[in-house]
Every structure is written in structure tokens, then in C-alpha cells.
């Protein structure tokens, strides 16, 4: 069963039931092909740097445990402290890079930057010689538009895990304390944040998971039908962008949102932020910690209630192989096994937690 078929099969199941099942310890993914040939390059270790939110959302620890039980090469997980790209680039410059791959970068938005800085390498040749079971079935299964978004100048640079977008999320407790309904528009978020600040002062009224994607870019998308210039760049100087900047400045000045977002996502996961614009899995992740009735995710913030304009910016979350990796083949072999069609547990995990399929 493909991930798309899985979503269709579970389409009639209540979200709460799906998330309750997901909140239990993740099942260890199995390739369903025990005893088949191990990946190439002998018993060389695979060192994998994984963003903390992806480590949780993709059940990476369970996947690593299952891989290590089945294959000769052992994978070791690590988490970045601070900005991953900065950390990786510094290690490369010092000649002491220890990681083979990283999860995740956002395609197509980040791929050009990572390629131009020589942080990642193309995957086509590595994929072609992989010996893991069903390796040749992974790429043809990727949704065509997602596959194109994983490429740069005709070469594939990421193995996608899921497609993401920006959306508002909220905890019900502070909204109920303030007597407000879940907001959708700029004005509604401002009004709700003002009432939350007064009625539930222990909560941060509003925040964004990161900037500029989850605040400025998402606001531009929800305020104009033409968020890009004729050159395909974000229209930073357009009317929608200037209005969004003014809105954020006024929110910060009124003490309704922080001006710095380095701790924003962590504060949300701790149950400290009432309303947040974020990656659209943040409501699901809060539900896993606090219960399915505690929080949820809505739609991208918009300027006018009845006009979504360009909608929401989207991206794919893609795993990459780093330039100068010690074991690039082992890394791509793990990716192809992790997201392969025989790995039912990974497919179910991603479809449940980050339910926008890439396959």
C-alpha cells in the first residue's frame, strides 16, 4: 500500500483516534526483507544529523534501531545545536566533518543555497547503485511535483519525507480563558492576542516558529494573489509585505508576540504559547504531549477572512547527503530503506503525524 493509499484508507478515521495511536511509542519500522543483502561499503558507520522535530515526527530512533538490527552498517543519530547549516559548513571548513547526512532541508526553497555553498551532493549516482531492497522503487513513487521540488538544475538533491505548509495552531485553554474563537485573519489574531494577554498572562499570546517563513512569508501568501515577482522571488517590497511588517512591529510593541524566535517552537512544545504560526505539524505534536483535546492546527493566517489569496507557502522536507561525507552510499541506502515502499511503519508514522504525503 502506498502512502497515498494509506491516507485514503484512513480518511474516514477521526483525527483524534489517529493521534491517540500515534502518541504511543512508535513501532520500529521494518523493511519486510530481513536477510537480504546489506548495503554496500562493508561495515562502515553511518552518521546522521537529524533536526529534533523531525527525529520525533519521523520516529527516527525507531527506524535506526530497526536498521541496525537488520544491516551490517550501523547508523548513529545526532542532533544539531543551533543552525544546522552553519554547524555543517564550519565542520567542512575545519576538515572535521563527522556526519554523512542531514534531515531535513526545505525544498525547493533551500536547495539552491545548500548546493551553492557546496554543503550537499547530488544523489542520482548513489541511488542508481544502491543494493537495499526496493531501492529502485522509491524515486518512481514520489509525487511528480514533489520530485521536481527535490531537484536543482536537473539533479536530485533530497529524498523527500513529507510535504509541509505553514498554518496557525492554538491551545484551547488560553482561548477559552479569553473567551475568543480560533482566529484566522490578521485582525482576529491581534484581537485574540490582546484578550489572552489580559486573561491568561502566563501564556505568550502569539508567536511564529521561525522567521521569515512562518511569519512574514506566510503573511504575504495570505495577503496577495501574487506573492512572487516576475523573477520568481518573494515580493519583499510589495504592499502586502510592508503591511505584514507593520503588523508584526505593532504586535511586538504591544507585547503580544516576541521579537526573536529562537525559542519559539520549543516554547510551543512546552505549552507556553497560545497561538502560533508554524509548520503545520505543530498542533499534532502538541496533541501528542498534552492530549488530543488540548490543541489543534487550522489554516494559514490570512488578511481577509473570505479571501485566502495565494493560500500558504509549501515545501518538502528532504533528507540530504553531505558533501565530503565519509559514507555517502551508506547514507543514501538508509534513506531508500527508510522511505521505501516495504517500510510500512515509516509510511504510517509520517502519514499520521505529518499527513501530507510525498509518495
Q: Which helix (H) or strand (E) holds 321?
A: strand 314-321
Confidence of residue 42 (pLDDT cuts 50, 70, 90): low
- Residues 23-46 have a mean pLDDT of 47
pLDDT digits (tens, 9 = 90+) for 332-344: 999 999 999 999 9
Residue 190 or residue 231, greater confidence: 190
In whole angstroms, give the CA distance from residue 357 to residue 349: 11
pLDDT reading at 14 higher than 70:
no
Average pLDDT over residues 190-208: 98
pLDDT at residue 9 above 60?
A: no
For 109-157, the pLDDT digits (tens) are: 899 999 999 999 999 999 999 999 999 999 999 999 999 999 999 999 9
Q: Write down the pLDDT at residue 143.
A: 94
Q: Which residue has the higher pLDDT, 14 or 51?
A: 51
- Evaluate if residue 56 carries a pLDDT over 90: no
Whether the bond between 27 and the residue before it is cis, its omega within 30 degrees of 0, is no
Measured CA distances, 4 to 222, 277, 350, 352, 358 (Å): 27, 26, 11, 12, 8
- Looking at the predicted structure, is the pLDDT value of residue 33 above 50? no
Domains of the chain in sequence order: 3-163+315-353 (3.40.190.10), 165-314 (3.40.190.10)
More reliable by pLDDT, 90 or 7: 90
Whether 276 has a pLDDT exceeding 70, the answer reads yes
From 32-41, 203-212, 237-246, 318-327, the region with the lowest mean pLDDT: 32-41
Tell which wins on pLDDT, 18 or 29: 29
Residues 6+ apart with CB under 8 A from 19: 284, 287, 288, 292, 352
Q: What is the pLDDT of residue 144?
A: 94
- The residue ranking higher by pLDDT, 324 or 8, is 324
Amino acid at each position: 500500500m502506498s502512502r497515498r493509499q494509506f491516507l485514503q484508507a484512513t480518511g474516514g478515521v477521526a483525527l483524534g483516534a489517529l493521534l491517540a495511536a500515534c502518541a504511543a511509542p512508535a513501532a520500529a519500522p521494518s523493511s519486510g526483507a530481513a536477510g537480504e543483502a546489506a548495503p554496500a561499503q562493508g561495515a562502515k558507520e553511518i552518521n546522521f544529523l537529524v533536526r529534533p522535530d523531525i527525529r520525533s515526527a519521523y520516529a527516527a530512533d525507531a527506524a535506526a534501531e530497526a536498521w541496525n538490527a537488520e544491516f551490517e552498517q550501523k547508523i548513529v543519530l545526532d542532533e544539531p545545536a543551533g543552525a544546522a547549516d552553519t554547524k555543517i559548513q564550519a565542520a567542512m571548513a575545519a576538515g572535521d566533518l563527522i556526519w554523512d547526512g542531514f534531515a531535513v532541508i526545505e525544498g525547493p526553497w533551500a536547495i539552491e543555497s545548500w548546493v551553492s555553498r557546496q554543503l550537499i551532493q547530488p544523489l542520482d549516482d548513489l541511488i542508481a547503485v544502491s543494493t537495499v531492497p526496493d531501492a529502485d522503487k522509491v524515486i518512481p513513487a514520489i509525487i511528480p511535483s514533489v520530485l521536481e521540488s527535490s531537484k536543482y538544475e536537473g539533479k536530485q538533491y533530497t529524498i523527500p519525507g513529507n510535504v509541509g505548509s505553514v498554518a496557525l495552531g492554538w491551545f484551547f485553554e488560553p482561548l477559552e480563558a479569553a473567551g475568543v474563537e480560533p482566529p484566522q485573519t490578521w485582525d482576529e489574531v491581534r484581537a485574540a492576542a490582546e484578550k489572552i494577554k489580559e486573561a491568561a498572562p502566563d501564556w505568550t499570546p502569539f508567536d511564529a516558529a521561525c522567521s521569515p517563513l512562518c511569519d512574514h512569508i506566510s503573511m504575504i501568501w495570505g495577503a496577495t494573489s501574487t506573492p512572487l515577482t516576475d523573477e520568481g522571488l518573494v515580493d519583499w517590497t510589495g504592499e502586502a509585505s510592508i503591511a505584514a511588517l507593520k503588523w508584526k512591529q505593532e504586535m511586538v510593541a504591544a507585547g503580544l508576540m516576541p521579537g526573536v524566535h529562537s525559542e519559539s517552537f520549543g516554547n510551543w512544545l512546552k505549552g507556553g504559547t497560545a497561538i502560533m504560526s508554524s509548520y503545520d505539524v505543530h498542533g499534532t505534536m502538541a496533541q501528542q504531549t498534552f492530549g488530543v483535546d488540548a490543541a489543534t492546527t487550522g489554516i494559514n493566517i490570512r488578511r481577509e477572512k473570505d479571501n485566502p489569496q495565494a493560500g500558504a507557502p509549501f515545501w518538502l522536507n528532504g533528507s540530504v547527503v553531505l558533501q565530503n561525507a565519509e559514507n555517502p552510499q551508506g547514507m543514501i541506502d538508509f534513506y531508500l530503506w527508510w522511505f521505501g515502499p516495504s517500510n510500512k511503519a515509516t509510511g504510517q508514522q509520517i502519514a499520521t503525524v505529518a499527513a501530507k504525503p510525498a509518495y
